With several copies, the nearest count.
Chain A
Amino acid sequence: MPPIELKLIIEALLFCSEKPLSVAQLQQQLVMRASDCSELTDPVDVPSNMQNTLSGMQGLVRHELESAAVEPVVTVYGQPAQVPIPLATADEICQALSALQSDYQGRGVQLQEVASGFRFQSSIEVTPWVLQAKSQKAPRYSRALLETLAIIAYKQPITRAEIEDVRGIAVSSHIVRTLQERDWVRVVGHKEVPGKPALLATTRGFLDYFNLRYLQDLPALADLRQPVTEATDITV
């Protein structure tokens, strides 16, 4: 088994991790589990011996690592290792992380530090292409909202009380707020009557949404095909 740069192990580990990993977590995970360290120099010395590569491993452990291509877990007399040997200091891990961060500059993925640690994620520039497909359907607006919007569009400027007059039912503040938040309706003034109610009108955003240039491009009510039973009403 050829010596592996610590950076590459961290790289793969972060890519294969479901959650961000902190430096402490990385340090905790980057260990060799050996129950017999007698062949090693003092375990404390291991990290400094190893620098950025694991080539510094000596004796039994090194031999085991090279032969065990599949499982680098150190076994001693067939027993799984018990005492984990740290592979790197926090400093070395930090160095590897910042090296990785610069390696991935300008790539489609980048190493990002978030609250709980480091993780690879798609770069901002390519995010639109990687966005999770819309799993949920867009919600639908209520009939009341549609009617309110229609009345404002056709009879603007109009107060809420006047809308309620036409609809014959109260207009909830929620509907008016939703229409304002979508930038379809806004307050254009206040009527000189007791209470000075707000006058609502449609916005440019409303016209844009419906691909209209002017308000008069809105279909005339007569354009709406009437059901046969109501045909006589049209001529009224």
Chain B
Amino acid sequence: MSASLAVQQVITLHQDIDLNQSSSIEEIPEMEIFALINGQPLRQMPQDLYIPPEALEVFLETFEGPLDLLLYLIKKQNLDILEIKVAEITRQYMDYVALMEAFQLELVAEYLVMAATLGEIKSRCLLPRPPGAEADEADPRQALIERLQNYERFKKAAEQLDHLPRCEREYLPINLPRPLQADIAEILPTILLEDLLSAFKEVIERAGLYEHHHIFREPLSIRERMTRILAALQRQALLPFAEVFDVKEGRQGVVVSFIAILELIKESLIEIVQAALFAPIYLVAKTGIACDAPD
């Protein structure tokens, strides 16, 4: 095929599209790109104008394979797929393939396979049929028609899919930032009671004080009372002696409180003061009012 014939073929294809604006919405923009090569609409182009191979490639890319090209050729003839004229379609298809070859484009193998298939169908259609066998004889075009129909279904499905309202086009996702936990409160480490006890056990062992362990259980209530008395002395300089004791705690509670006071006196932490004989007895912190500042 000569180059000028090839160019004519391209022009024919382009004009077909111009006449059939409504046939395929998607192909039009690509056609326009093709038409605007060198800044000129292609229909005004003289026949011997050189078409750069890139332009043809762009054109080629508008078809999603041989089935798509065949569908285009069928539509161009305003034909139903079911009434496909194999000879005519094959000729047009072959022209197109020849055109691609003329421009030395790397022809995708599938286009050549389809060319062979079309040739086979065409020759089978030309074969004379034995009389009476028509009903059983399968239409040689049937397989191709089914493939074309099937492809067309999915081509349409893809178009419908493209028209479905979707994210990033019809809808934008919303994802407000979550407030961080750190904004509310700091995460603090947790301790288990066992951890505390085992830490104590270890330190006691290390200090060689283990033999005293048996006394710990009992004095704890006294130690606690000592702490409570000291705490009370932080709130008030003078703590009435009687207030240390709570009769509701019973005899044992009173004893614990008393031992705690004795222990505090022994450790020089508190003093007992009495203004006069039979006057109320007060506990006073020996160091005065403790301050809360560490060390």
Known A-B contacts A154-B220, A167-B203; the reply to A139 vs B269 at CB < 8 A is no
Interface 1/0s, chain B 164-183, versus A by CB < 8 A?
Answer: 11111111111111111100
Q: Are B172 and A127 in contact (CB under 8 A)?
A: yes
Closest A residue, CB atoms, query B175: A18
| Cα separation A27 to B254 with both chains bound (whole Å) | 54
Of A150, A190, A236, the contact of B161 (CB 8 Å cutoff): A150
Q: Are A147 and B171 in contact (CB under 8 A)?
A: no
Interface 1/0s, chain A 131-174, versus B by CB < 8 A?
Answer: 11110101111011011011101111100100001111110010
Contacts of A160 in B (CB 8 A): 295
Q: Are A224 and B199 in contact (CB under 8 A)?
A: no
Contacts of A168 in B (CB 8 A): 65-68, 110, 114, 147, 151, 206-207
| Cα separation A168 to B207 with both chains bound (whole Å) | 7
Closest A residue, CB atoms, query B213: A221
Stretch with Cβ within 8 A of B (4 or more), from A41-49, A51-59, A88-96, A203-211: A203-211
Closest B residue, CB atoms, query A201: B227
* CB proximity of B228 to chain A, nearest CB, Å: 9
Contacts of A187 in B (CB 8 A): 290-294
Interface 1/0s, chain B 192-203, versus A by CB < 8 A?
Answer: 010111111111
Q: Are A77 and B158 in contact (CB under 8 A)?
A: no
Interface 1/0s, chain B 129-158, versus A by CB < 8 A?
Answer: 100001001010110011101111111111
* CB proximity of A25 to chain B, nearest CB, Å: 15
A-B contact count (CB 8 A): 347
Q: Are A109 and B176 in contact (CB under 8 A)?
A: yes
* CB proximity of A24 to chain B, nearest CB, Å: 20
> Is A115 on the interface with B (CB-CB < 8 A)?
no
How many positions in chain A have a CB within 8 Å of any CB in the partner chain?
95
Contacts of B180 in A (CB 8 A): 131-132
Known A-B contacts A12-B172, A211-B170, A233-B210; the reply to A189 vs B233 at CB < 8 A is yes
Q: Are A192 and B268 in contact (CB under 8 A)?
A: yes
| Cα separation A120 to B203 with both chains bound (whole Å) | 54
Q: Which of A112, A139, A191, A218 has the most CB of B within 10 A?
A: A218
| Cα separation A52 to B10 with both chains bound (whole Å) | 53
| Cα separation A235 to B26 with both chains bound (whole Å) | 31
| Cα separation A191 to B264 with both chains bound (whole Å) | 10
Known A-B contacts A168-B65, A177-B294, A191-B287; the reply to A222 vs B214 at CB < 8 A is yes
Q: Are B141 and A221 in contact (CB under 8 A)?
A: no
Q: Are A170 and B110 in contact (CB under 8 A)?
A: yes
Known A-B contacts A134-B181, A154-B220, A221-B213; the reply to A167 vs B197 at CB < 8 A is no
* CB proximity of A215 to chain B, nearest CB, Å: 4
Contacts of A176 in B (CB 8 A): 294-295
Contacts of B12 in A (CB 8 A): none
Q: Are A211 and B166 in contact (CB under 8 A)?
A: yes
* CB proximity of B34 to chain A, nearest CB, Å: 15
| Cα separation A45 to B130 with both chains bound (whole Å) | 82
Contacts of B188 in A (CB 8 A): 77-78, 138-139, 182
Closest A residue, CB atoms, query B203: A147
* CB proximity of B90 to chain A, nearest CB, Å: 10
Of B142, B158, B220, the contact of A216 (CB 8 Å cutoff): B220
Q: Are B174 and A119 in contact (CB under 8 A)?
A: yes
Q: Which of A119, A122, A177, A189 has the most CB of B within 10 A?
A: A189
Contacts of A143 in B (CB 8 A): 26, 64, 158, 199
Known A-B contacts A199-B269, A222-B214; the reply to A132 vs B181 at CB < 8 A is yes
| Cα separation A229 to B129 with both chains bound (whole Å) | 14
Known A-B contacts A127-B179, A219-B160, A222-B214; the reply to A157 vs B155 at CB < 8 A is no
> Is B237 on the interface with A (CB-CB < 8 A)?
no
| Cα separation A147 to B67 with both chains bound (whole Å) | 13
Closest A residue, CB atoms, query B287: A190
Contacts of A218 in B (CB 8 A): 157, 160-161, 193, 196-197, 220
Q: Are A121 and B161 in contact (CB under 8 A)?
A: no
Q: Are A198 and B196 in contact (CB under 8 A)?
A: no
Q: Are B269 and A221 in contact (CB under 8 A)?
A: no
| Cα separation A186 to B227 with both chains bound (whole Å) | 10
Closest B residue, CB atoms, query A181: B188
Contacts of A156 in B (CB 8 A): 223-224, 226-227
Interface 1/0s, chain A 113-126, versus B by CB < 8 A?
Answer: 00000011111100
Contacts of B142 in A (CB 8 A): 227, 229
